Amino acid sequence: MMRVDNFSVAFSGLAIVLSALIFVLSADFYHNEEKHISDYLAILVFTLCGAMIMFSFSNMAMLFLGIEILSISLYIMAGSKQHDVRSNEAGFKYFLMGSFASGFLLFGIALIYGATNSFHIGNIAAYVSAGQISPMFYVGMLMMLVAMLFKVAVVPFHFWSPDVYEGSPALVTAFMSTLVKIAAFGAFYRLFYLCFFDSLNYIVIILGVVTAATIILGNLVALSQTNFKRLLAYSGISHAGYLMLAVMSMKTGTASAIFYYASGYGIATIGSFAVAILVFKAMKSENIEAFNGLGKKNPFLAAALTMSMLSLAGIPPFAGFLGKYYIFSEAIKNGLFGLTITAIITSIIGVYYYFKVILAMYTKEADETSVQSNIAYTTIIIVCVSVSLLLGLFPDKLMNIF
């Protein structure tokens, strides 16, 4: 049912670390309004459980179970601010869209079972490499692909993510854009690497179009965002595009590149959300204007957010840079020149919107409201920034896991 290998251990480890960071942040986040904070924390652990099943499944049924455990917990988390209409809306929207995707996934699994007589990924892989593939199998594979693309939120299945990210409580957004995205990518990669590897040639064009569309659209639309959470949602979409590039280069074994990129992305995103949550709370606004003058008001927070943004934008010496480097390098090794050049051009666009936040912090006038940090948040912020610096300087430890 499950197979523990380097891949699953590494990704589970990352998931645990990210959840732990979120845990520390959450104590304070729900402090004021929730009576049953324990419920919330329990659901968070359920999500983690789902993610870990997704990293180590060796059976289609387990994949489905993992995704469902993760998703259903998330539907609840997205709606966890009961008295906030937007949060309810986000939860409901996510639920409706997500159930469709789950339906696709289940249907796909059923068709593949029909073609191969097995749920086990080893058997399915053997069936694929044997060469006599029935049409039913392709339909099943495409349906699974659609479901997975939905879960990782790439174009054209990305529509839910900005709305859900914006509506959900900021901390849940942080959780969704890091752990959940990484879990979905882990499962995606594992499914296609272990199971559909030999049939990759049939869908490479689809993947190519999806990847190009994702990195272009994600970056371009992010330019015009004024809400910080939506900005990060679109930036998350474009990062998903870069990760797709690594999935497409699967032939040379890009698990380590994905893992490194995901770690750098996850850590930097949690770091920026930690700062953002403090700012949102103090300023009572989630727009980029809320960050105006943060450089004067609280230099520490501003510096930390700047470094996280630089890492997301892929500027050395932060982890985001080497992550991009690894992915581009693998893509070139696989001959994906056009996509790599697209990715490089769009990452320049990416710099522009990350710098919008930095510019707001350092060049706009501040108002009177002060922004204070507390011990938990300060610790998490320091941890995130130093980890993304250390990862950037000493990547060997992570890269040699696989």
Tell me which residues touch other proteins (CB under 8 A).
Answer: 256, 295, 310, 315-317, 321, 325-326, 328-329, 332-333, 340-341, 344, 347-348, 351-352, 355, 359, 362-363, 394-396, 399-400
CB atoms within 10 A of CB 369: 12
- Separation of alpha carbons 35 and 38, rounded Å: 9
* Shortest distance, position 329 Cβ to other proteins, whole Å: 5
* 172 Cα distance to chain centroid: 13
DSSP string, 5-17: -HHHHHHHHHHHH
Of residues 77 and 336, the one with the C-beta less far from other proteins: 336
Residue with tokens 């919107």: 353
Of residues 202 and 317, the one with the C-beta less far from other proteins: 317
* Shortest distance, position 355 Cβ to other proteins, whole Å: 6
Question: What is the enclosing helix (H) or strand (E) of 111?
Answer: helix 85-116
* Shortest distance, position 265 Cβ to other proteins, whole Å: 18
The distance in angstroms from the start CA to the end CA of the chain is 22
3-state secondary structure of 2: strand
Rg, C-alpha atoms of the chain:
20
Three-class secondary structure assignment of 18-44: HHHHHHHHHHHHCCCCCCCHHHHHHHH
Residue pair 278/371 in contact by the 8 Å Cβ criterion: yes
* Shortest distance, position 348 Cβ to other proteins, whole Å: 5
Of residues 159 and 337, the one with the C-beta less far from other proteins: 337
* Shortest distance, position 332 Cβ to other proteins, whole Å: 5
Of residues 122 and 335, the one with the C-beta less far from other proteins: 335
Question: What is the enclosing helix (H) or strand (E) of 384?
Answer: helix 375-393
Whole-number Cα distances in Å, 74 to 67, 230, 273, 358: 10, 18, 18, 31
Alpha carbons within 13 A on the beta-carbon side of 367: 9
Of residues 159 and 394, the one with the C-beta less far from other proteins: 394
* Shortest distance, position 95 Cβ to other proteins, whole Å: 40
Of residues 53 and 319, the one with the C-beta less far from other proteins: 319
Residue pair 109/90 in contact by the 8 Å Cβ criterion: no
Q: What are phi and psi of 227, to 5 degrees?
A: -90, 130
- 2 pairs with which residues across the strands? 57
* Shortest distance, position 386 Cβ to other proteins, whole Å: 15
Of residues 82 and 363, the one with the C-beta less far from other proteins: 363
Whole-number Cα distances in Å, 205 to 40, 146, 152, 187, 200: 42, 14, 18, 21, 10
* Shortest distance, position 399 Cβ to other proteins, whole Å: 5
* Shortest distance, position 335 Cβ to other proteins, whole Å: 10
Of residues 49 and 315, the one with the C-beta less far from other proteins: 315
Of residues 59 and 340, the one with the C-beta less far from other proteins: 340
* 182 Cα distance to chain centroid: 5
Q: What are phi and psi of 2, to 5 degrees?
A: -125, 150
